[in-house]
């Protein structure tokens, strides 16, 4: 139900009645605002960077705030949230202001038309109503500008911050150093944190920080060892889940995510584990890879020499097969694990008969001495598969253990 004017002065009440009438057409006016912003002569950046549905919701929020204010009702201003969101999306500040003014001009035209339809009383209230609307638009534009510049300057400072470098390289470990780092990065001293890494970075470091800030998630970013690395305050498990969903939905590159940790002193470990998660991520898999989703693969990359020797010991003669046969057997074993040990489901994924999968598994047993029906053998085969997937073929060509030694281990 539309809000009724709460003011008592005749002019205020007439302005409120005009605003209430426009509020009843909120959906229509939101569409008009979107059309103005996305018009051929409008803001080009919005076509490329802002989803239409999101823009529609933003227009509705700003119209709702403005019209409620004109009726004398108080409500939270959406300007800061809009600024953070557009900064995170990489929309240039002039484009954000141009879009905001386009919506304001549309609303002024509608207010003028509504005043004319209301007759003499509406026209009498129009000058004051237009002046108040102009004031709201100007205030909103100033708030957007201030919030946008503050966000980008703060993130830019963080991107080259010695405080963040000290956390990531492990040199900031005393209580005093951790407090100073948290204060410099505008992050909490304690709570729950994760480290994100991305490669290659799509743009400047502030863009990712602002994207998360628009969702109420604080972070600090820097470039380290060729990667874009971020320390993210997730506070609790629900915020962590929201972070992962946000990254999945808007990912323009691949991310590695560390396990969550409670002390800033663990940032260096978090950075190392996030790098391992990114390094072992499946290129065909989701864009966000958490270390906890595949810790064994992370262990493989962390100790490649040991992992290569283990893979050679476990798979043995299988690795010496011609490329086509080797790829077929490794693919079959991979599908069998992905199907949780179901021969039938693996066969469906491989587009072959279940008996064909069984024959290939027997062939793997003949070559490796290991069977998928034995728990220890199954674990060893899975670990070896992780090494084959994560390590280059050249590393796996290291000399095999003597066959007699392999047999003693069976």
What is the dihedral sign for C-alpha 294, 297, 302, 307?
A: positive
341-365: average pLDDT:
92
Instruction: Name the 3-class secondary structure at 219.
Output: strand
Instruction: Tell me the C-alpha distance between 256 and 340, whole Å.
Output: 25
More confident of the two residues 197 and 49: 197
pLDDT digits over 286-308, tens only? 788 887 666 666 566 566 777 78
Which runs of E-coded beta strand occur in 234-313?
255-257, 261-263, 288-290
pLDDT at residue 256 is higher than 50: yes
DSSP state letters, 391-408: S-HHHHTSPPPPHHHHHH
Give the residue, 410 or 8, on which the prediction is more confident.
8
The pLDDT value given to residue 206: 45
| Mean pLDDT along residues 10-31 | 86
Going by their DSSP bridges, the two strands 190-198 and 255-257 should be labelled as: antiparallel
CA–CA gap between residue 202 and residue 410 (Å, rounded): 49
pLDDT of residue 294: 64
Residue 85, pLDDT > 60, answer: yes
Q: Rounded CA gap, 12 and 128, in Å?
A: 9
Which residue has better confidence, 212 or 389?
A: 212
Which pLDDT score, from 0 to 100, does residue 65 have?
92
pLDDT tens per residue across span 357-410: 999 999 999 999 998 888 888 888 888 887 787 666 665 664 444 443 344 343
Query: Using a CB cutoff of 8 Å and minimum separation of 24, what contacts does 267-270 make?
Result: 267/167, 267/168, 267/170, 267/193, 267/195, 267/231, 268/167, 268/168, 268/169, 268/170, 270/193, 270/194, 270/195, 270/231
Q: What local confidence, expressed as pLDDT, does residue 283 receive?
A: 67
Strands 190-198 and 227-233: antiparallel
Higher pLDDT, 253 or 261: 261
């Amino acid at each position: 139900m539309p809000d009724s004017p709460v003011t008592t002065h005749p002019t205020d009440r007439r302005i409120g009645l005009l605003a209430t009438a426009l509020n009843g057409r909120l959906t229509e006016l939101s569409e008009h605002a979107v059309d103005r912003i996305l018009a051929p002569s409008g803001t080009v950046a919005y076509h490329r960077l802002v989803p239409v549905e999101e823009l529609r919701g933003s227009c509705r929020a700003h119209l709702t705030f403005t019209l409620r204010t004109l009726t004398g009702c108080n409500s939270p201003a959406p300007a800061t949230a809009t600024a953070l969101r557009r900064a995170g999306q990489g929309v240039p500040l002039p484009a954000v202001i141009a879009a905001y003014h386009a919506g304001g001009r549309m609303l002024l035209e509608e207010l003028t038309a509504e005043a004319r339809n209301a007759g003499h009383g509406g026209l009498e209230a129009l000058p004051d109503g237009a002046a108040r609307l102009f004031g709201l638009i100007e205030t909103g534009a100033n708030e957007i500008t201030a919030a946008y510049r503050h966000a980008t300057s703060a993130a830019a400072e963080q991107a080259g911050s010695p405080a963040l470098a000290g956390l990531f390289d492990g040199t900031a470990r005393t209580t005093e150093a951790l407090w100073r780092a948290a204060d410099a990065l505008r992050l909490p001293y304690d709570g729950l944190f994760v480290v994100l890494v991305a490669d290659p970075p799509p743009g400047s470091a502030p863009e990712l920080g602002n994207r998360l800030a628009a969702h109420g998630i604080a972070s600090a970013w820097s470039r380290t060892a060729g990667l874009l690395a971020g320390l993210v305050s997730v506070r609790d498990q629900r915020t962590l889940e929201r972070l992962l969903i946000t990254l999945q939905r808007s990912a323009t590159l691949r991310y590695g995510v560390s396990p969550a940790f409670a002390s800033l002193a663990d940032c260096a470990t978090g950075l190392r584990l996030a790098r391992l998660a990114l390094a072992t991520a499946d290129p065909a898999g989701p864009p966000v890879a958490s270390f906890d989703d595949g810790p064994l693969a992370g262990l493989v990359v962390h100790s490649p020499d040991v992992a290569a020797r283990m893979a050679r010991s476990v798979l043995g003669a299988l690795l010496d097969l011609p490329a086509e046969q080797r790829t077929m057997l490794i693919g079959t074993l991979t599908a069998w694990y992905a199907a949780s040990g179901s021969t039938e489901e693996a066969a469906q994924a491989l587009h072959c008969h279940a008996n064909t999968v069984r024959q290939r598994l027997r062939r793997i047993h003949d070559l490796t001495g290991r069977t998928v029906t034995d728990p220890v053998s199954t674990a060893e085969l899975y670990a070896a598969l992780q090494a084959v997937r994560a390590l280059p073929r050249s590393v796996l060509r290291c000399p095999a253990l003597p066959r007699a030694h392999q047999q003693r281990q069976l």
